[in-house]
Amino acid sequence: MDFSALDKVVQETVGAMEKAKEQIFSIAEDARSECDRVKEDLKEIREKTHQVITLVDEFYKREKRSRVRLMEVSRGLDRYTEEDIRKAYEEAQETQVKLAVLREREQQLRAKRDDLERRLRHLQAMVERAEQLMSQMGVILNFIGGNLKEISGKLEEAQQRQEMALRVILAQEDERRRVAREIHDGPAQVMSSIVMQAELCERLLDLAPDRVRSELQELKGLVKTNLLEVRKIIYDLRPMALEEVGLYGAIERYLDDFAEKKDLVVERHFKGAEKRLSTLYEVALFRMIQEGLNNVRKHAKAKSVKVQVEMTAETLTALIRDDGVGFNVEESLKKQGEHFGLLGMKERAALLGGTVEVRSSEGKGTTLLIRIPLEEKSDDDEQQGKNSDSAS
């Protein structure tokens, strides 16, 4: 097989897909901007519709009263003058005309509101589809952009590695999407507020200099908030403690911090000789323990929690047990919009061929058991293999 020609074809395909991905991103951004504009228009139309409906109700009551008055005057010709009759008739006619105009205006506003709502749903669906398509294309690009020469003559081995590689790519794409959303919903929004605040300060320098100091203090607070958010995102990408002290040490530090901040008794046990694993495994287990303890903090109302981590040659296991209120596992997982953390842990473990088991009942606490098979070589094992090859 001519791998140079194949590589050229792949590179051209990748280039075309990269351009397509950029175009999809541009479409998604345009749709997202249009969504924001339509939301503003919809909000305005809803307010106007509400105002007109209120007026319609008011004029309907007026029109009813004017008709009653007209009937009363018409029946009592001996008691009312021609001027009274004329005024009653003109008032009834004027009220009917205004009511008809308001009703027509109400119908127009309702139609416009319904059209904007349909348009907003369409735009939101377009943004969602574009994001899904970009994610799928990112997976494909990462997959086919590898070095094809490394798998020549090893088709059977490549087939075995393909599944693991795809799992890793999917995990990476999911993490990138999460970080992108955090940046969009956090720092990006705050930066927009900072720009608006700075523009306000510029205008106030000439119009109201005395207010500039307070506005700058508020701006300073926004910057500090944004800085904390950025630091949190950076820490979420890769805890530095994993690089410094390894998996056991990083978990130990996190548990110390967790116990201090949450005022919980945290019992911890580490079993088995620790060895350095690949980044994928260390980060995955650290994140799942972190998410498990977050669930304890948010939902368990526990006074103490036990964390046990065990590493063997074949398996990486973590157990988290609390003495909190517990919950009905099956019913909770059936409810949409709840326990996304637990579902995320299950998906993360599944990508590594592992499992997450939850045991709980109301009033009896919760036990979370994580098992991950160590199918991959650790970073130390890979380095030792390279050294052996060099020595031979």
At residue 269 the predicted structure's pLDDT band, cuts being 50, 70 and 90, is very high
Q: Which residues pair with 357 in a beta bridge?
A: 369
CB 119 within 8 A of CB 45: no
Angstrom distance (rounded) from CA 219 to CA 221: 5
How many C-beta neighbours within 10 Å does residue 255 have?
19
Q: Which residue has the higher pLDDT, 188 or 106?
A: 106
Q: What is the mean pLDDT of residues 250-256?
A: 89
How many percent of the chain have pLDDT more than 90?
11
- Residue 1 is predicted with a pLDDT of 46
**What separation in angstroms does the CA of 72 have from each of 75, 78, 93, 124?**
5, 11, 15, 57
Which residue in 282, 267, 287 sits closest to 344, CA to CA? 287
Residue 285 or residue 181, greater confidence: 285
Cα separation, 29 vs 87, in Å, equals: 60
pLDDT at 130 (0 to 100): 78
Q: C-alpha angle 303/327/358, rounded to 5°? A: 90
**Token duo for residue 286:** 């650290």
Query: E strand or H helix at 310, and its extent?
Result: strand 304-311
Pair of tokens at residue 7: 């590589």
All structural domains of the chain: 3-153 (1.10.287.950), 243-392 (3.30.565.10)
CA distance 197 to 222: 9
**Per-residue pLDDT tens digits for 226-250:** 777 776 666 656 566 677 788 898 8
Q: Which of 182-196, 204-218, 357-371 has the highest mean pLDDT?
A: 357-371
**Does an H or E element contain 11, and which?**
helix 3-75
What's at 257, amino acid-wise? Answer: D
The pLDDT mean for the chain works out to 76
Statement: residue 271 has pLDDT above 90: yes
Is the pLDDT assigned to residue 386 strictly greater than 70? no
